[in-house]
């Protein structure tokens, strides 16, 4: 273990730089110590490189954290957020010192990991390692895509970098290879990752688990790689950043040999510095060893603050200069400038939804994935901000926009993305694109593989990001590929994510309505859950409630005769709705009056008024739910008077219709179960 004295004096910094770096370092130390909770080690070791970036390179305006052409900075190692909060405070963002003193406390703007939307200047919620780094790839993609769309000769209105500060954990996570590979392949030269190479994770030395040559790994991905041996060498980091900025067609990794807990006599270079307060005595010793006043805590020297606050004037001037350029651009290209503002504000063109297709019975049977593809074909040209693709399943998920070209290094104006078989990165890249703003990002795969992208989906929901997922092959009905490919528990899993709207449309027309909901939802992700197999088309003439019903989550598709209260309500979703309709007819021949409720979205239905839900599902009427997915969730959703035809296993390999039949998804079984429910109720009534 190196002593603080040897390291602290290893690179003599100009006095002001040293003061600034130590200001960041000790603000972080004091925040964690006061909270007696948090991660001091990474901020202490990375303060100098963060200072080099924020002082010498980063383009930002503390007075306008949302200025569209700012550089993006993501602290992927979110546990080190005390460093970010210190930077935001000293450079003049709206984050008073009081907030730093309330680190990790109820209602503060300094939560335990950075939360997008809670703290001005925080560009992404980070903490799950690897996600922030991959958000950075998404942001860098958004930058070049918007640049390709809007920049014109002499008018560079989209021209900024994306910087990421990542740790060992970020690079250990598999997603970093998915993301690194995509970024290298796409030649994202404006993506620059500072890697805090401190050789320590929670369990100890990286020698325990992480011994490959990281530089060689990223070089193999096509990245420009540099190493800075001395973490405190601000000039060396600044120079490396400058070199990185000159790499126009390669993303950059700058590995900086940092020291966790830098300066702490007993904890530096040990895992003990990672995730707990240093302790009062160790804080004192550390401050004394670096000639820093022991008290008061949260000390910010005036000269350091004045220097940091130079960012305000600098940022305002840079933004003002950009605004002048935007004005000149608007004069020459008024329509384009209008469009730029519209997409940045997430507005939609007035007529975006006029003349969406109305499918008729004769169009069927049609898989909802096919109907979705047809909607994308129509929306694609109307909404040039739609950009997405799939994880190597485009022909199956029908996610391409005809004629929109491939997004590739030779053509960043292309809007069809090829994520490769990298679902986790796809999800996190979509998040980065949404966080950047200016795009409507979407991504597709088979529903069963949404499990590979749960971490980014969770973050999309947490951050209310408008990301659209297209999940096809949505049940055992997909057939021959068998249990590994037949989703069962995924639907309930998606529905359980707070803020995620899941829509499983029953036919082509419900699919149109579902897309309408998805595009209109500006806050929060939407999962469209679609079939592989063809389904009858529910003609709008016979079922006029579809377009108004789908946005409500559940609605009456076919009712008992007007004079009758229904004997039973059949609730079905997606591909089971047409079975419910047939079951209703069959039951009627036996004198049982059934109502069919199509419920494409339990989330949206649950958010309707009590009155509306009572109208659709009146108290006392028994329910039979038919859904080719896990039964979990339905009981609690609609109460005890319910039976469920569902799948409580992993499915089986056989042609889809055969599998569906074996698992009970037949009109006969629906009728049998309906009678069973009614008989049981009669029995109960006679016992009373």
Binding site residues, ligand TPP, CB under 6 A: 39, 41-42, 77, 79, 127-129, 167-169, 173, 196, 198, 200-202, 260, 274
- The CB-of-37 to ligand TPP minimum distance in angstroms stands at 14
Angstrom distance (rounded) from CA 620 to CA 597:
16
Question: What does the chain come to in residues?
Answer: 688
- The CB-of-38 to ligand TPP minimum distance in angstroms stands at 11
The secondary structure element, H or E, covering residue 87 is: helix 81-91
User: Considering beta carbons, is residue 202 or 658 the nearer one to ligand TPP?
Assistant: 202
DSSP state for residue 271 in the 8-state scheme: G
Task: Please say whether the beta carbons of 575 and 506 come within 8 A.
Answer: yes
- The CB-of-281 to ligand TPP minimum distance in angstroms stands at 22
Cβ-Cβ contacts under 8 Å for 9 (sequence gap 6 or more): none
Angstrom distance (rounded) from CA 587 to CA 353:
38
DSSP state for residue 13 in the 8-state scheme: P
Catalytic-residue membership of 423 = yes
User: Considering beta carbons, is residue 199 or 325 the nearer one to ligand TPP?
Assistant: 199
| Two structure tokens written together for 290 | 């670096």
Task: Please say whether the beta carbons of 108 and 144 come within 8 A.
Answer: no
- The CB-of-82 to ligand TPP minimum distance in angstroms stands at 11
User: Considering beta carbons, is residue 42 or 225 the nearer one to ligand TPP?
Assistant: 42
Residue with tokens 């998915």, as numbered in its chain: 178
Q: Which residue is nearest to ligand TPP (CB)?
A: 169
Angstrom distance (rounded) from CA 392 to CA 404:
17
- The CB-of-169 to ligand TPP minimum distance in angstroms stands at 3
- The CB-of-484 to ligand TPP minimum distance in angstroms stands at 25
User: Considering beta carbons, is residue 168 or 510 the nearer one to ligand TPP?
Assistant: 168
The answer for 256, left when phi > 0, alpha when psi is -120 to 50, beta otherwise, is: beta
User: Considering beta carbons, is residue 171 or 241 the nearer one to ligand TPP?
Assistant: 171
Q: Which of 282, 423, 576, 627 is catalytic?
A: 423
Angstrom distance (rounded) from CA 11 to CA 25:
16
Residue 450 backbone phi and psi in degrees, to 5: -65, -20
Residue with tokens 């949505």, as numbered in its chain: 474
| Two structure tokens written together for 665 | 């998804």
User: Considering beta carbons, is residue 204 or 357 the nearer one to ligand TPP?
Assistant: 204
Task: Please say whether the beta carbons of 141 and 433 come within 8 A.
Answer: yes
In whole angstroms, what separates CA 634 from the centre of its chain?
27
**Where in the sequence numbering do the catalytic residues fall?**
423
């Amino acid at each position: 273990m190196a002593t603080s004295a040897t390291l602290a004096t290893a690179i003599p910094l100009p006095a002001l730089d040293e003061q600034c770096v130590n200001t960041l370092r000790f603000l972080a130390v004091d925040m964690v110590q006061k909270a007696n909770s948090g991660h001091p080690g990474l901020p202490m070791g990375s303060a100098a490189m963060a200072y080099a970036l924020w002082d010498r390179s980063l383009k930002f305006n503390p007075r306008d954290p949302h200025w569209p052409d700012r550089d993006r900075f993501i602290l992927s190692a979110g546990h080190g957020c005390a460093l970010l909060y210190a930077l935001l405070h000293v450079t003049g963002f709206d984050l008073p010192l009081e907030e730093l003193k309330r680190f990790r406390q109820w209602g503060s703007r300094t939560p335990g990991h950075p939360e997008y939307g809670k703290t001005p200047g925080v560009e992404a919620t980070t903490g799950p390692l690897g996600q922030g780094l991959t958000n950075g790839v998404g942001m860098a993609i958004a930058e070049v895509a918007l640049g390709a769309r809007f920049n014109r000769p002499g008018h560079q209105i989209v021209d900024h970098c994306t910087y990421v500060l990542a740790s060992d954990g970020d690079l250990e996570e598999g997603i970093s290879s998915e993301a690194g590979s995509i970024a290298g392949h796409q030649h994202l030269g404006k993506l620059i990752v500072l890697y805090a190479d401190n050789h320590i994770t929670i369990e100890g030395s990286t020698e325990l688990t992480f011994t490959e040559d990281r530089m060689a790994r990223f070089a193999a991905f096509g990245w420009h790689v540099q190493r800075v041996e001395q973490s405190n060498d601000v000039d060396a980091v600044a120079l490396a950043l400058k070199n990185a900025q000159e790499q126009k067609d390669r993303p950059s990794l700058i590995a900086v040999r940092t020291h966790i807990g830098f300066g702490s006599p007993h904890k530096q270079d040990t895992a003990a510095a990672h995730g707990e307060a240093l302790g009062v005595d160790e804080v004192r010793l550390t401050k004394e060893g670096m000639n820093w006043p022991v008290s008061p805590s949260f000390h910010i020297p005036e000269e350091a603050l004045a220097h940091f606050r130079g960012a305000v004037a600098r940022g305002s001037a840079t933004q003002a200069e950009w605004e002048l350029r935007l004005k000149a651009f608007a004069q020459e290209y008024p329509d384009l400038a209008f469009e730029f503002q519209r997409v940045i504000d997430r507005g939609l063109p007035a007529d975006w939804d006029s003349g969406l297709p109305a499918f008729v019975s004769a169009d069927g049977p049609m898989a909802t994935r096919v109907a979705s593809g047809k909607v994308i074909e129509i929306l694609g040209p109307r909404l040039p901000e739609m950009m997405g693709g799939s994880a190597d399943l485009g022909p199956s998920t029908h996610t391409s926009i005809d004629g929109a070209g491939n997004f590739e290094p030779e053509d960043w104006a292309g809007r069809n993305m090829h994520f490769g078989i990298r679902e986790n990165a796809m999800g996190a890249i979509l998040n980065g694109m949404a966080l950047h703003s200016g795009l409507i990002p979407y991504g597709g795969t088979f529903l069963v593989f949404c499990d590979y992208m749960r971490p980014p989906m969770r973050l999309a929901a947490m951050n209310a990001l408008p990301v659209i997922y297209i999940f096809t092959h949505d049940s055992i009905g997909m057939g021959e590929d068998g249990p590994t490919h037949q989703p069962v528990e995924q639907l309930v899993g998606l529905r359980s994510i707070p803020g995620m709207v899941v829509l499983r449309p029953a036919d082509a027309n419900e699919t149109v309505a579902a897309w309408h909901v998805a595009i209109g939802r500006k806050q929060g992700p939407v999962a469209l859950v679609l079939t592989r197999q063809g389904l009858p088309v529910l003609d709008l003439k016979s079922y006029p409630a579809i377009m108004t019903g789908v946005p409500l989550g559940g609605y009456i598709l076919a009712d008992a005769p007007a004079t009758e209260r229904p004997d039973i309500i059949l609730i079905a979703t997606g591909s089971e709705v047409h079975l419910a309709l047939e079951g209703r007819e069959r039951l009627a021949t036996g004198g049982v009056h059934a109502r069919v409720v199509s419920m494409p979205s339990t989330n949206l239905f649950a958010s309707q008024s009590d009155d509306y839900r009572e109208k659709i599902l009146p108290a006392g009427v028994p329910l039979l739910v038919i859904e080719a997915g896990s039964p979990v969730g339905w009981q609690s959703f609609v109460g005890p008077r319910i039976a469920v035809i569902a799948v409580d296993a992993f499915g089986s390999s056989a042609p889809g219709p055969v599998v569906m039949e074996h698992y009970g998804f037949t009109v006969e079984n629906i009728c049998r179960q309906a009678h069973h429910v009614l008989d049981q109720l009669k029995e109960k009534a006679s016992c009373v």
